[in-house]
DNA sequence: CTATTATTTAGACGTATGGCTAAATATCTA
DNA sequence: TAGATATTTAGCCATACGTCTAAATAATAG
């Protein structure tokens, strides 16, 4: 599960999509218009992000509105913090 | 730069290496012995992590001791937090 | 129902990635 | 110096990834 999440984060276009969605919901079209790659390629990125759980999709008429899934984003933060959380003998928390 | 970091994090073996180094410094050999893949393959993973700045290497006799670079790990955390940090109209901080 | 707009699915293509074995390099020991 | 141990570098191979164009699906407008 985290495997799909980290793989999704590996691509710079997808990270930029996440940053944009961080400002609020956007339609697939609006999002795609801001990148120099084809619609189908963007759609594939959406699919990757969605299956990783990083974004959610909901249909609104003929458009699809994508939104950031902040819950999973927080899971990522926790996972990364986990890398350094086991240092022994290091001063933990805030002083 | 963050590009190399996120790419490095995309592989589960490399994430596991980081977790192990989170417990403290280890030699290339000790680290490699804990994975079911060849030494050369492990060496390549070390190289990827090192060039991403996620780990540091220092020679100690005939061995190389690897250590987690917590500074860069924190940069990753900051970067991921940046995805969700721009939500408008959401209640921020802790309640 | 037909046409139009929005988005995804399918298939193809070149490059990147992760794995392996064999060979090279570095350091210590006899 | 020769030999043993630790680690990396060099090639090779199969699979995964990101991109594209063409075609399919979904929903709205006439």
Phi, psi of A7 (to 5 degrees): -65, -40
- The rounded distance, in Å, linking the Cα atoms of A13 and A31 is 11
- The rounded distance, in Å, linking the Cα atoms of A10 and B9 is 7
Phi, psi of B61 (to 5 degrees): 70, -135
Q: Is the pTM of this model over 0.75?
A: yes
- The rounded distance, in Å, linking the Cα atoms of B10 and A89 is 29
SS (HEC) of B29-84: HHHHHCCCCCHHHHHHHHHHHHHCCCEEEEEECCEEEEEECHHHHHHHHHHHHHHH
Residue pair A32/A16 in contact by the 8 Å Cβ criterion? no
Residue A94 contacts B where some CB pair is shorter than 8 Å: no
Query: In chain B, which residues have their Cβ closer than 8 Å to the Cβ of A72?
Result: none
**Would you say residue A95 has pLDDT above 70?**
no
Residues 50-79/A with CB < 7 A to strand C: 57, 62-64
Q: At what angle do helices A2-9 and B2-9 cross, to 10 degrees?
A: 160
Q: Which of B37, B3, B35 is nearest to B18 (CA)?
A: B35
Nearest nucleotide to A43, CA against C1' atoms: C8
Structure tokens at A6: 């980290």
Residue pair B9/B76 in contact by the 8 Å Cβ criterion? yes
Q: What is the mean pLDDT of residues B66-75?
A: 98
3-class secondary-structure state, position A93:
coil
Considering only CA atoms, name the residue closest to the C1' of nucleotide C9: A40
- pLDDT tens-place string over residues A10-67: 999 999 999 999 999 999 999 999 999 999 999 999 999 999 999 999 999 999 999 9
- What is the band of B88 on the pLDDT scale with cuts at 50, 70, 90? low
**Cross-chain CB nearest to A88 (options B19, B24, B70):** B24
User: With an 8 Å Cβ cutoff, are B80 and A87 in contact?
Assistant: no
Question: Which positions of chain C lie under 7 Å from any protein Cβ?
Answer: 5-11, 17-23, 26-28
pLDDT for A73 equals 97
Structure tokens at B38: 């060849």
A38 touches strand D (CB under 7 A): yes
């Amino acid at each position: 599960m985290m495997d799909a999440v980290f793989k999704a984060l590996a691509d710079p276009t997808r990270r930029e999509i996440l940053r944009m969605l961080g400002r609020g919901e956007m339609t697939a079209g609006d999002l795609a218009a801001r990148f120099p790659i084809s619609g189908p390629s963007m759609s594939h990125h959406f699919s990757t992000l969605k299956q990783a759980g990083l974004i959610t999709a909901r249909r609104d008429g003929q458009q699809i509105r994508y939104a950031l899934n902040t819950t999973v984003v927080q899971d990522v933060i926790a996972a990364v913090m986990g890398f350094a959380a086991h240092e022994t003998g290091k001063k933990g928390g805030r002083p």
